[in-house]
A and B are shown apart, each in its own frame.
Chain A
Amino acid sequence: MTARRRVRATLVAWAVGAGILRLSLWAPEVCPSLTAAEARAAAVDSAGWIVANQAPDGEYLYAWDRDTGEAVDDYHLGRHAGVTMSLYQLAVAGELDLVEPADRGLEWMLDRLRPTVSPTGEPAAAFTEGRTAKLGAAALLAVSLAHRRLATGDTRHDETMVALGRFLAGQQRPDGSMLNLYSFADDGPVPDETSIYSTGEALWALAMIHEALPAAGFDRIAWTTLDYVTISRDEVEGYAPQPWPDQWAAYSLAEMAEWGLDDHHVDYARRLIGRYAGIVRFDAQRGTTYGSLTHGPVPRGSGVGTWIEGLAALRTLTVDPRLADLDGPTAEVLACGAARLAERQVEPGDDVPPEEAGAWFYAGETRMDDQQHAASGLLGAEPVLP
């Protein structure tokens, strides 16, 4: 082969390679614009879907299939608690009209409180309808109560919050890991079963209870679980990719930041920011026609919402000098993700049914946690938006 032919062949190979990269890994990242006011409006519309479809007894519409025009009945206590928590988050941000429907959702949960046996023998309680109680449902009920306290200043549920805290503490193992289920038949935790979500939910709940009621002393329990989550949880419980994108852990870190985080907590936060940034960037590459083909379908609203929630919580940590270098980049990627999330929302209108207005649909279906996580994420993104 002559040198000239080799140069030509190499140029062709470079062009083909660059083209393949442009269609795949290097597809452009498309970030629409979104203002803080638009994000707030989208979050409120999302809450509007939750409220418009809430039953008088406080139960929410679980899911809606717009192709069949029918509700999907597969109710989930943890998601009920999460949706209520999200309404209270908006109330804390000033949307006080949402306290009343959130309170109805709260009463629905309080009707399902059941006493449990705590290791200390003090009164404890879990949120359940069955013979077992889930850690995550009780945790998000406690977080709802803590947000309600912040929004209203009402302290009437403080004892319940502490009882829930004792239940959560009773599920903790010595290494900080949290058992997912409590058995009423055995009056104790079900051994050996953990949950990918519940550990972080319980950690956040313990941190928020401590913030509200420091005398209860749940900070010690929270520290042990935070160490477990940040040092060994993903490895021990076999989660991948690591760090597992856990927005509940992100919320927990944000809550506990003022207590004084150690270097290994900060290192975990840095890695978690990187994880979320990578996910949001990948999603942004779906913004072109060919990017949407090479990067697969957009995940459901709840999935994208959790990324934005996680990033929003972690961004508050960048006031720490150890993470200050990530402040601008985190804000940038958070704004991009929030804008992409908002543009997929069904805008309310006169001809839009209440089961669709303000919702995020995935494969023809919307579920209550789509609205929950999207609303919480958009609310969290507000500070970085113009």
Chain B
Amino acid sequence: MTSAILAFLVAVNPAASARAFTRDRRPDRPVAIAIGAAIAVAILVALAAASETLLDALDLSAGTFRLGAGVVVAVTGLRWLVLGPSEGVAEPDSGRALSGFVAFPTLLTPGAAVLAVTVRLSDGLGTAVVGASVGAAAGAAALLWRRRVPVVIGAALVRIIGAAAVVIGIGIGVDGVQTM
């Protein structure tokens, strides 16, 4: 359970979530952000629940999928490590658009999506749900409190968590090679 939660945390990279928007002076909108996080969790849980159907449709075994999942987590981590966070976008005006952007692409990262499937197959649906929820909640919290963290520290955190994602992704990939 702990390793799955850690994997979701680095795959979402809350420090990168916190840099999703350019800084402005408008008031925080916690409800819209919470709704966005809930949408992201719902999609991740749906992916986890459909994991066996998905693998059947793709003609893939759990081990092969896990190998690819590890590569996805590692490559996204490498991108954060090398390039840092993506450039922030202007915060959407409407609450609905804000929720949508928080869900995707801010919290629903490629790493989180593939983790939802592979964690469900290796550790069960409960672990996948908890991991996805913790990851999304951490990302949403970081987004909500983004103004409290200095830009330089935030950027460094993005790279540190990216490095962790590389390590964890490689571990998942290696495990995938030997997963039945």
Please list the residues of chain A having a beta carbon within 8 angstroms of any beta carbon in chain B: 1-3, 5-7, 10, 14, 17, 21-22, 25-26, 28-30, 271, 273-275, 277-278, 281-282, 285, 326, 329-330, 333
Pick the residue among A10, A275, A326 that contacts B104 (CB under 8 A): A10
Residues of A within 8 A of B149 (CB): none
Is the Cβ of A285 less than 8 Å from the Cβ of B64? yes
Is the Cβ of A29 less than 8 Å from the Cβ of B59? yes
- Give CA–CA (A273, B180) in the complex, Å: 8
Sampled A-B contacts (11; CB under 8 Å): A1-B87, A3-B89, A6-B89, A10-B104, A22-B58, A26-B58, A29-B61, A274-B180, A275-B177, A277-B63, A326-B180
B105 interface residue (CB < 8 Å to A): yes
Pick the residue among A7, A275, A278, A282 that contacts B101 (CB under 8 A): A7
- Give CA–CA (A14, B67) in the complex, Å: 18
Question: With A7-B101, A30-B59 known to touch, is A2 a contact of B89 (CB < 8 Å)?
Answer: yes
- Give CA–CA (A25, B172) in the complex, Å: 14
Residues of A within 8 A of B87 (CB): 1
18 A-B pairs besides A21-B68, A282-B64 with CB distance below 8 A are: A1-B87, A3-B90, A3-B91, A6-B86, A7-B100, A7-B101, A10-B104, A25-B64, A25-B67, A26-B68, A28-B58, A29-B60, A29-B64, A277-B63, A277-B178, A278-B177, A278-B178, A281-B61
Main secondary structure of the interface of A (DSSP, over half): helix
B164 to chain A, nearest CB (A): 21
- Give CA–CA (A326, B179) in the complex, Å: 10
The residue in chain A whose Cβ has the minimal distance to the Cβ of B22 is: A1
Is the Cβ of A10 less than 8 Å from the Cβ of B179? no
Q: Count residues on chain B whose CB falls below 8 Å from chain A CBs.
A: 27
Question: With A28-B60, A281-B63 known to touch, is A329 a contact of B180 (CB < 8 Å)?
Answer: yes
- Give CA–CA (A348, B42) in the complex, Å: 57
B151 interface residue (CB < 8 Å to A): no
B39 interface residue (CB < 8 Å to A): no
Is the Cβ of B58 less than 8 Å from the Cβ of A274? no
A273 to chain B, nearest CB (A): 7
A133 to chain B, nearest CB (A): 37
Is the Cβ of A275 less than 8 Å from the Cβ of B68? no
B25 to chain A, nearest CB (A): 18
Is the Cβ of B71 less than 8 Å from the Cβ of A25? yes
Is the Cβ of A281 less than 8 Å from the Cβ of B178? no
Residues of A within 8 A of B59 (CB): 28-30
- Chain B 145-180 residues near chain A, CB threshold 8 A: 177-180
Residues of A within 8 A of B126 (CB): none
Mask: chain B, 74-94; 1 = CB below 8 Å from A; 0 = not: 000000000000110111100
B95 interface residue (CB < 8 Å to A): no
Is the Cβ of B180 less than 8 Å from the Cβ of A277? yes
Main secondary structure of the interface of B (DSSP, over half): helix
Question: With A1-B87, A21-B72, A28-B60 known to touch, is A6 a contact of B105 (CB < 8 Å)?
Answer: yes
- Give CA–CA (A7, B103) in the complex, Å: 11
B110 interface residue (CB < 8 Å to A): yes
B21 to chain A, nearest CB (A): 8
B8 interface residue (CB < 8 Å to A): no
Is the Cβ of B68 less than 8 Å from the Cβ of A3? no
- Give CA–CA (A333, B178) in the complex, Å: 12
Query: Would you list the 7 A-B pairs with minimal beta carbon distance, nearest first?
Result: A274-B178, A28-B59, A329-B180, A10-B105, A25-B68, A278-B177, A3-B101
Residues of B within 8 A of A22 (CB): 58
- Give CA–CA (A273, B177) in the complex, Å: 11
Residues of B within 8 A of A326 (CB): 180
Pick the residue among B65, B97, B100, B178 that contacts A26 (CB under 8 A): B65
Pick the residue among B64, B72, B104 that contacts A281 (CB under 8 A): B64
Residues of A within 8 A of B92 (CB): 3
- Give CA–CA (A29, B158) in the complex, Å: 36
Residues of B within 8 A of A329 (CB): 180
- Give CA–CA (A7, B86) in the complex, Å: 12
The residue in chain A whose Cβ has the minimal distance to the Cβ of B97 is: A3
- Give CA–CA (A17, B87) in the complex, Å: 20
- Give CA–CA (A329, B64) in the complex, Å: 13
Residues of A within 8 A of B97 (CB): 3
The residue in chain B whose Cβ has the minimal distance to the Cβ of A24 is: B68
The residue in chain B whose Cβ has the minimal distance to the Cβ of A273 is: B180
Question: With A17-B110, A25-B71, A281-B64 known to touch, is A275 a contact of B178 (CB < 8 Å)?
Answer: yes
The residue in chain B whose Cβ has the minimal distance to the Cβ of A325 is: B180
B71 to chain A, nearest CB (A): 6
- Chain B 30-73 residues near chain A, CB threshold 8 A: 58-61, 63-65, 67-68, 71-72
Residues of A within 8 A of B58 (CB): 22, 26, 28
Residues of A within 8 A of B180 (CB): 273-274, 277, 326, 329-330, 333
Most chain A beta-carbon contacts within 10 A, residue among B89, B90, B92, B178: B178
- Give CA–CA (A22, B91) in the complex, Å: 34
